[in-house]
Structure 1
Amino acid sequence: MKEQSMSLRRSVLYMPASNERALAKSPSLACDSIIFDFEDAVGPDEKAAARERLLAFLSGAGRPQRELVIRINALDSEWGRDDLAAACACRPDAILIPKVEGVETLREVDRALAELNAPADLKLWAMMETPRSILNAGTIADYARDPSSRLDCLVVGPNDLARATCMVPGPDRANLLPLLLQVVLCARAGGITALDGVSNNFRDLEAFASECRQGRELGFDGKTLIHPAQIDGANRIFGPTDEEVAEAEAIVAEFAEPENSTRGVISMGGKMVERLHLEMARSLLEKARLIRERTQ
């Protein structure tokens, strides 16, 4: 099984590759990752120009210094192969594949990347946005355990899911929760990241914050965004609080005491704390460290 390192993906902003003003602004944004979009956000007549514009931008001095992802059109679409070649030329950290319904889609992209001599460290992200995506989420996520696989992240597409299932999501997304939990569960089984889907009303930041809190409680690592106004809220809610950091530091310190160094369970503040809590504390502190480095 491949070794998985922690990735900071609290806030992941979609950005149309065709929008020159948005591209110019991207280096100044505080999001953890950017998804430059060749797919839904770019009209059919703009696809070729979007590829050229993004390549020119990312080849210049203003290339954003953060995780960069490019969402292509489906490989079997009329734009997919050209998108993939252009994406590789842009040297992103990952390529996001839309409407992944099974492992064969990812294998086909892996084969195409091999033909393009793509770097070995180029990752794949998979959009989970159809009923079949959810039904096959387990086998899709398990593909990440294959040493030859590039799969690194599952991304929920709630709008497409709602449309395909004929659901009408309420303000609390109650009817979508089983689908969202399935993605988180399978991502954890595969040892990869899971990102919650977008919140459409970017002006209602209170509702957005509520959705972020729900996403964190469900176990998502972060949230995909459609507007820069959503970045601060996602960063805050998907990052550890000061209280959580202090508690994690206390757990690590307590287990470091000589009398506790070999114990499986200790008592802290009237609570039983196990070594699994120590592992969780160390993970939280590593995330806090990455956040500090990002903001310095």
Structure 2
Amino acid sequence: MVIKTYRDQFRAKLLDLYDETEVDNFFYRLLDAYTDVKKYQLAIEPELCFTTEQVDLFNRALDLLQNFTPIQYIVGHTYFYEGFFKVDSNTLIPRPETEELVDLIIKNHTNQPHIKVLDIGTGSGCIAISLASYLPQAQVTAFDVSEKALVIAAENAKLNKVQVAFQLQNILTTQHLENKYDIIVSNPPYVRNLEKQEIKPNVLEHEPHLALFVEDDNPLLFYKKTTELACTALTNKGVLYFEINQYLGPETVAMIQKFNVFQSVTLLQDMFGNDRIIVAKK
């Protein structure tokens, strides 16, 4: 089948569900994943055709997209902070806001020697692996409560050629951390159930709820527990980094300040102007 003809049919079937730019991104992402054909070739070779096997792959992907399956899960990978990461339904798909968090940590600690880093709730490993990649002087440890997520994270560390010590650990039942760290970072579940109506179907119906949602009556559960552990596990002048719920910035700052061990607690906005990152310096 002629690729450009199939592309037109692909667009027509998805434009009621997604905007035009998003549909085009889907098509070219699948083109990259399933063929050796480059986007520019379609302009100079308009008669290029799919094989029967490629049509089958695209049709399967089209069915999944019509059911709002994220494109990252369909192709089995995504890109984060210039790294290549496998993802599946056991791991959250990394967000651009999390790239901002990683970028901030790297900039703040590039010249600091012999850093020990702990990433709590690592998921795909995107934070821990990116920090290990760009802070080669860092010794990075990462916890997650999901064994299946840790399998993916370990594969991603190999793909990105870095060493990260992954551990199966439920932070909520952890009484204390055995080691000291210069950096503790966490992007825990923070979406309240009352906010579910704001979540797109591709996220709500397919990404792991264990990594997304917290109860409405205790939305800072993970932040409070991590802060409690960080009070003793951070080195002198160590730094705690959080990605947070945009609606709970002041509340999260106030909770951290109550521990009275941090000399500064700073709330930062993301690229969209939402409260998103907290930096607490011991």
Larger-Rg structure: 2
Report the TM-score, using the length of structure 2 for normalisation: 0.33
Q: Which has the higher contact order (CA 8 A, sep 6+)?
A: 1
Higher strand share: 2
